[in-house]
Chain A
Amino acid sequence: SAVISQKPSRDICQRGTSLTIQCQVDSQVTMMFWYRQQPGQSLTLIATANQGSEATYESGFVIDKFPISRPNLTFSTLTVSNMSPEDSSIYLCSAGGQRVLGYTFGSGTRLTVV
């Protein structure tokens, strides 16, 4: 299965600033996704990162707050914009689309906003 590298692994940011998280996959994948995992909770899908076009956002998430890029089949970025303490969470990148291999996750970015 694909191996995902995600960085930074953690960061502490000031409110009002923005952070860009990078996700690199070691092989070309059909689909890439971004999830948020708040403390002690399950994973919530933020959006599907589409190669060469605008990301598809889930209910409750908007492009102005979470702009996403996907310039090719192996790389994507998620930006958390104008951060507030409520954005403190773990952000996870996932890649998949081939059912035989399942869907793989990066190790996540632990974000703390102060």
Chain B
Amino acid sequence: GESVGLHLPTLSVQEGDNSIINCAYSNSASDYFIWYKQESGKGPQFIIDIRSNMDKRQGQRVTVLLNKTVKHLSLQIAATQPGDSAVYFCAELNQGGKLIFGQGTELSVKP
């Protein structure tokens, strides 16, 4: 039979605008976090990471913010482009060295 999957949260932005994607993580002891971008038919692609001793890290057009008090991560994409359309996942590294993924957000960029 046909299975019905859960629908990912969707964020729709206009080309050129800034995007903010949010993520809540579960383990207060996690000390390393990664944001991934997954395009249709491809595996997750590393975007940026951050350690728990930092609250902000910047890359090219992307910034990750970490709030350990409320166990929250965000990914900011500046001047969003159509090529940024994808599903974005946050992931936390647990003490066993395993990467545990969050729910994911689908970003849609309107030209």
Contact = CB atoms under 8 A, between A and B. Distances in A.
Tell me if B's interface is mostly helix, strand, loop or mixed: loop
A41 interface: yes
Interface residues of B, number: 29
Nearest to B5: A40
A104 B5 contact: no
Interface string B1-27: 101011110000000000000000000
B99 A42 contact: no
A109 B89 CA distance: 19
A97 B41 CA distance: 25
B43 interface: yes
A48 B100 CA distance: 12
Question: Contact residue range for chain A?
Answer: 20 to 34
Contacts of B46: 1, 102-104
B43 to A, nearest CB: 4
Contacts of B34: 102-103
Contacts of A94: 99
A96 interface: yes
Given A42-B103, A43-B44, 8 more contacts: A41-B8, A41-B104, A43-B89, A88-B3, A94-B99, A96-B97, A103-B34, A105-B36
